[in-house]
Structure 1
Amino acid sequence: MDSRSQEAHVTSTAVQTTPEVSPEKYDLVIIGSGTGAKLSAWTLGKLGWRIAVIERQYIGGACNNIACLPSKNLIYTAQISSYAHRLKEFGMEATNLTVNMSGVRERKRQMVNGEIEGDSNLFRLTGGELILGVGRMVGPKLVEVITNDGKKRLLEGTQILIGTGSRAVIDETPGLRESNPLTHIEALELGIIPDHLVILGAGYVGLEFAQAMRRLGSRVTLIDRGERILKQEDPDVSEAVLDLLRYEGIELLLEATVAYVSGESGKQVSLTIDQSGRQVTLNATHILVTTKRIPNTDGLGLDSAGVETNAEGYIRVNEHLQTTASGVWAVGDVAGTPKFTHAAFHDFQVFTDNVSGGHKSTEGRLIPFCLFLDPELARVGLNETEAKARGIKYRLFKLPIGVVLRARATMEKRGFMKALVAPDSGKIIGFLSFGANAGEVMAAVQMAMIAGLPYIALTDAILTHPTMAEGLKFLFLSQLTGSEIT
């Protein structure tokens, strides 16, 4: 079985429950050990709960092992490579600069191993029993486990929590599966630099890998069905990111679909592509698929516990993360939560509060995002497109990053900031930054939004000079403000 089929994925091959297996009783049984699940185990374990956590493969979940953290490790390495190849800009010279991809991979593996060790220690320290194996529900609050060493156990929980995440899938394009393409899992384990990498899908994963692999030395072609990248963002944002990708030397085929694939990824592949009414053939060495993710609910035995899923397979939960079955909860991707680790972190807070008698809710929460390109793209709250669609009036503030003194000092002046402000109250209803340290700058604005502060609170604040966050003063004091927009 290859690693694609193993990503946080519970299969349906567990042996049927037999009467001779007696149930072991726990206060909480958790299936999956990702962010929302493991934090719940550690927190409630410290309070004295008896907890069992079932994990099929990735201790600590996808984020630590095969997603967020290892990908950012790779992206940072690619940024260092970019700096190294720009040494003349900084008054330095070097010769024979090369990228050793096996060394890049080893650095990433060291980081992952450290995270696994840390999470494993936390399970021990907080009293949670970590069981490596495949779990599925066989009745109300009853979970059967086939451990990785072949043993069968039956766990009965006063409460059940499901946090099995989601996984990348390869679509039915003729020849695509047979070509054995990469998903993000295999891409993070590459020990060589692909001569020519074709990436299917211009979402967050596709864009981040495109820039990183290009900077590490690959020729990169990015293919997407949409007429523009980041179609959920305003057109000026899409255009700015598109300009960045082209500047980096990334080839883009938009409004394009792959009709057929032949060959084997890692050796030689040929893609027949339909684009705007014409057909083209593209030859490459590797294919990376980043187009779709599905929830890991198949094989969980949810029907036997009365847990319902929606048409896409995500577990139905209410605003308190309760499923349709009493005493059964779900967190993270599998519950339809936005696919961000920080959103799953908040799910953990909602679940642990409610399972302890509280009433914390997922309704109305403000979930930011950051696309880890260089420079970063970060947003929280509404963008212009969303505000107009909802009929929400706003004042627009927009500022080129090159006006920010920190950006002028470092000469990293690509991008812009913009904010949407309610005309009556002056409260910030949306903020976006495309520029250096955008994610960190966004956090300052998010705090103001959570506190309900008007934008003038940021103009009145004394912000450290020269930092990127200082640019918020320039943004809101600038004359680059549009008229009130309906």
Structure 2
Amino acid sequence: MAYDVIVLGSGPGGYPAAIRASQLGFKVAIIEKESLGGICLNWGCIPTKALLKSAQVYEYMKHSTSYGINTSGVEHDFGGVIKRSRGVADKMSKGVQFLMRKNKIDVIMGYGKLKAKGQIEVTGADGNKQLVEGKYIVIATGGRARELPNLKIDGKKVIGYREAMVLPNQPKSMIVVGSGAIGVEFAYFYSTLGTKVTVVEFLPRVVPIEDEDVSKELEKQFKKQGIEVMTSSTVESVDTTGNGVKAQVKKQDGSVITLEADVVLSAVGVVANVENIGLEELGVKTEKGKVSVDKYQQTNVPGIFAIGDCAPGQALAHVATKEGINAAEYIGYLEKKYNHQPEPMDYNNIPGCTYCTPEIASIGYTEKAAKEAGYEVKVGKFPFIASGKASAAGNTDGFVKVIFDAKYGEFLGAHMIGASVTDLIAEVSVARKLETTAHEILNAVHPHPTMSEAVKEATAAAYGEAIDI
């Protein structure tokens, strides 16, 4: 079978790349070994948000009296929560199937491996092999949970994110190793449903890539929720021979304590899926476990592109999507089906979102990074406790923090923690893309009462013009 473009992997990078290539007039095939939509739709972004929504609804109901609504006997059905999450994921995966049909993209199920220039061998579930040929190949193989040598995932007592989404029974206690997005989201979910959760983080603060003020606020909120947080700590070993798990944890002072729990969730990041897909045979360069690419996602081998978690950019679904579209449009440009080169990615203007409660969203420079880059900065902070909408909604935890260049007013970064901030961050992304300064933010009228006013108010605070604080 011969195609113009073959996409290896159907996640949030792969399927948009296939659709955009089809829109540009190419004959396209997509190869998927498991489920259309990849990890994001089936085992990542979407089903986890469904779980978190169930936890949030349960939390609202438990505290309904604070809204003047009396309820009694509120209970959760753990199995029902898991079932709803899987249903949401299945619906989204079926949506991708529809999009493939709509855009006349051939779907080839099986494990794909590069065999020669323009050729991929696909091994089906039945073991049968077929050769698929294409002028251009887009590698979108994604990533998987990183595994530590002393924390081997057995799928039962030491689990990864996939098992955490479909546990048959709710554990009474859980140790979460790692406090990135995956770790803190599951920590919130299980804690809200009644599991005793302990978070163990190797670095000095939780969500360590975030601004320091955000880390401090999340740790404070987690402790209020009853989540135990241990930073500057490492899991030295785990013993799974008994009924539960015993973890030896080394603390900052060098002392070692034993934590006991029903299960340990390893959430120490992701690693790219670059092994056993034929990269070495074709001479495709990799560096630090990722496929090396140029600004148009091209590898060193002509005709082969790489996008998403297996490429060097941030391992985020929205990054993969844009990289996939860019790759398709650059192929279109090479084949004279698209009239200009796509605009390369600006990896310093990528929003990062974490969906625990309170939510976290950030973009651009942290305050520390801006100063280290040589900027003189103006920093403004607006607490949600001063927001009318937040007060009315009963969600006053957190703040919006903004960072501007003192000399020119350039919008260097924004860091938010609180309700709905994963929606608020888009304003800053667009503002920074348009090279907006503080002046424009202050003079753009924000609707009242909304959470979005916090962006304007934080900006006003940076310039000594705050009204509501």
TM-score (norm 2): 0.93
Match of 1:333 among 309, 331, 337: 309
Cα offset, 1:159, TM superposition: 0.4
C-alpha distance after superposition, 1:245-304 (max 9, x if no partner): 101100112222122211269x51111221121111111101111013211111101122
Match of 1:313 among 274, 286, 289: 289
Structure 1 residues 328 and 440: alpha-carbon distance in aligned structure 2, compared to 1, 3 A threshold = same
Counterpart of 1:355 in structure 2 is 331
C-alpha distance after superposition, 1:415-472 (max 9, x if no partner): 1111111223223111112122112222122222211222222222222111011223
Q: 2:350, 2:429 within 8 Å by CA — same for their partners in 1?
A: no
SS at match of 1:356: helix
Cα offset, 1:332, TM superposition: 0.4
Structure 1 residues 271 and 298: alpha-carbon distance in aligned structure 2, compared to 1, 3 A threshold = same
Counterpart of 1:197 in structure 2 is 174
C-alpha distance after superposition, 1:287-324 (max 9, x if no partner): 111013211111101122221111x3210101110001
Alpha-carbon distance in 2 for matches of 1:117, 1:178: 27
Cα offset, 1:363, TM superposition: 4.6
Q: 1:396, 1:481 within 8 Å by CA — same for their partners in 2?
A: no
Runs of 4+ aligned residues of structure 1 deviating over 4 Å after TM superposition are: 174-180, 479-482
Corresponding letter in the other structure for 1:92: I
1:73-472 matches, cutoff 5 A: 73-173=50-150, 177=154, 180-263=157-240, 267-275=243-251, 276-310=253-287, 312-357=288-333, 358-365=340-347, 366-472=349-455
Cα offset, 1:28, TM superposition: 1.1
Counterpart of 1:53 in structure 2 is 30
TM-score (norm 1): 0.90
C-alpha distance after superposition, 1:164-222 (max 9, x if no partner): 00000321116765975111101111232210011111111101110111001111011
Alpha-carbon distance in 1 for matches of 2:394, 2:155: 46
SS at match of 1:380: strand
CA RMSD of aligned residues (A): 1.9
Structure 1 residues 418 and 292: alpha-carbon distance in aligned structure 2, compared to 1, 3 A threshold = closer
Corresponding letter in the other structure for 1:339: A
Corresponding letter in the other structure for 2:234: T
Structure 1 residues 264 and 163: alpha-carbon distance in aligned structure 2, compared to 1, 3 A threshold = farther
Between Structure 1 and Structure 2, how many residues are aligned?
457
Q: 1:197, 1:288 within 8 Å by CA — same for their partners in 2?
A: yes
Structure 1 residues 194 and 178: alpha-carbon distance in aligned structure 2, compared to 1, 3 A threshold = closer
Show structure 2 runs of 5+ residues with no match.
334-339
Q: 2:153, 2:159 within 8 Å by CA — same for their partners in 1?
A: no
Counterpart of 1:13 in structure 2 is none
Corresponding letter in the other structure for 1:274: K
Q: 1:46, 1:127 within 8 Å by CA — same for their partners in 2?
A: no
SS at match of 2:110: strand
Structure 1 residues 120 and 475: alpha-carbon distance in aligned structure 2, compared to 1, 3 A threshold = same
Counterpart of 1:14 in structure 2 is none
SS at match of 2:217: helix
Corresponding letter in the other structure for 1:317: V
SS at match of 1:35: coil
Cα offset, 1:386, TM superposition: 0.7
